[in-house]
Amino acid sequence: MNWEIVIGLETHAQLSTASKMFSGASTAFGAAPNTQASAVDIALPGVLPVVNKGAVERAIRFGLAVGGEKVINRRSVFARKNYFYPDLPKGYQISQFELPIVKGGEIPIVSPTRGEIKIRLTRAHLEEDAGKSLHEDFHGMSGIDLNRAGVPLLEIVSEPDMRSAEEAVAYAKALHSLVRWIDICDGNMQEGSFRCDANVSVRRPGEPLGTRCEIKNLNSFRFMERAIEFEAKRQIEILEDGGKIVQETRLYDSDKDETRSLRIKEEAHDYRYFPDPDLLPLEVSEDWLKQVQAKLPVLPQAKRDRYQREYELSVYDSNLLTQSREVAEYFEAVVEHEDLKDFDKRQTAKRAANLITGKIAAEIGKTGVSIRDIDPKPGGLAGIVELIVTNKVPVSTATTVVLPELITHANKPVKELMKLVPQYSQFPQALTSRVARDAMVTSTSSTAAASIIVSVFDLWPTDDTKELEHIVERTIADNPTQVADYRAGKERAFNSLVGQVMKATKGKANPAQVNEILKRKLAG
């Protein structure tokens, strides 16, 4: 009988305010230790906390994004979470417990096995971060850095709705994208701005939930997947050997690819929560709610729905294009470009989506550059889309030659680019008047850049029908086996012949024209 994995995530998103949750100290990353810890942060006697309005607004923005007004508590309460650790100066953490600012909501994801599903949220509450204990390079001692003490966090707790490590990663990525999309967190996992704890248990299908173990501080999606898979396997092996799971907190060791015990898992009553006497209940007025809602951008799900409805893009493409707000804005700038206004939007959108999720995404992954800074800019990519939809350049040539060359040579003078192509001693005659007016291979707003690349590298399709017919005839004569296979009903043989013709023309033949001539010659 199979085991079922049950996963819930607790995510700490550092809110993108300039100052801390209850003090005016800076939240900037990378300062020298203990240089950004105010009297409030280190709990000097007589100091009082003051709530950061910007942090509250960001929490409201999140609530509106995951569930609308109905999930935002108009009255929430700050509580003291009591525990003792060297990097917690007050001996308690100011958090929210019984009355959080957000209760409920959901995050839609695409599961690799269950399709489109929604992960329910239990709550999202405001709290302050603790400091950091440093255990290296101190000659056997530990150091304490209180710069992070008091940094504003939104802790987002999911229901145990995920059933695989892949679903947990899909949820974490969707949440990561959302907090960046609505501009409440920069999502920098390396700096600790977005970190997850995974609660993992296993059970037989249909049985009650098993005993859970919490894996702390997972700061990469890859490590999250590996940690959950290891932990689930560990628990299954214990239960199948007749043992019992101990509820505990565990750490993931990426070097050994294993989790190990840290401490027995605490329960809520161990923290002795009680309302903080120094902070009044937090009241969210209807006017304030409307002000925050008015500034909320169009959300990813709404864009996905529009892409599928207006452009007839697939669920897969729509999800890829809305993984970040910057990618969605780039895509829309391409599709809505002035030079593409007279074309079928469904056709141009599909071509743009393929280029962005393919070669452009690969370039971003290789260089780490933001899509806002990448070449080509939307106008340059719109030029490539135009070449494809007007059948001026085959898709393969546009994808494997024109786009890479445009990425490499964007914003170079045409005369400089000409030096790279020895057979051209003068400005190519193939350039149109529109292109010729553009002395730079600019990729900012003009679609001319793609045409310049095509001209300079002599990639315009041949329009010599007689020459193409001769090439097709030679291909048929040189490939009798493929010809016999095609006439025997093997369609793949025809594709092989098309490839041979395209190779002979250096990719400059119109594929549709090649198909027509080849079929006519083979039928003769």
Angle between helices 511-523 and 480-487 (to 10 degrees): 80
CATH of range 465-523; options 1.10.10.10, 1.10.10.410, 3.20.20.70, 3.10.310.30 = 1.10.10.410
The reported pLDDT for the residue numbered 457 is: 74
pLDDT at position 419:
62
C-alpha to C-alpha distance for 169 and 179, rounded to whole angstroms: 15
Query: Is the separation of the CB atoms in 498 and 511 below 8 Å?
Result: yes
Q: Would you tell me how many other CB atoms lie within 10 Å of the CB of residue 427?
A: 14
- pLDDT recorded at residue 425: 42
Q: In whole angstroms, what is the distance from residue 487 CA to residue 408 CA?
A: 44
What is residue 63's predicted lDDT score, i.e. its pLDDT? 98
pLDDT value of residue 413: 66
The span from the CA of 372 to the CA of 327, in Å, is 8
Tell me the helices (H) and strands (E) count for the chain, helix number first. 19, 16
d(CA 40, CA 150): 8
pLDDT, residue 136, reads 72
Which pLDDT score is estimated for 431? 42
* pLDDT value of residue 432: 40
Query: For residues 450 and 441, is the Cβ–Cβ distance under 8 A?
Result: no
pLDDT of residue 257: 93
Would the CA dihedral through 269, 274, 276, 281 be positive or negative? positive
The CA distance from 517 to 163, in Å, is 54
Q: Would you kindly state where each structural domain of the chain is located, as residue ranges?
A: 4-287, 300-456, 465-523
Neighbours of 17 (CB within 10 A): 19
pLDDT recorded at residue 442: 56
* Per-residue pLDDT of the chain in tens (524 residues, 90 and over written 9): 699 999 999 999 999 999 999 999 999 999 999 999 999 999 899 999 999 999 999 999 999 999 999 999 999 999 999 998 889 999 999 999 999 999 999 999 989 899 989 999 999 999 999 999 887 766 778 889 999 999 999 999 999 999 999 999 999 999 999 999 999 999 999 999 999 999 999 999 999 999 999 999 898 999 999 999 999 999 999 999 999 999 999 999 999 999 999 888 777 778 899 999 999 999 999 999 999 999 999 999 999 999 999 999 998 999 999 999 999 999 999 999 999 999 999 999 999 999 999 999 999 989 888 898 888 889 889 999 999 998 888 888 889 888 988 888 776 666 666 666 544 444 444 444 444 444 455 555 566 778 878 877 777 777 678 888 888 899 999 999 998 888 888 888 898 998 888 888 877 777 778 888 898 888 86
Give 158's DSSP letter.
E
Q: How far is CA 388 from the centre of its chain?
A: 28
Neighbours of 437 (CB within 10 A): 10
Q: Which of 360, 320, 7, 375 has the alpha carbon at shortest distance from 177? A: 320
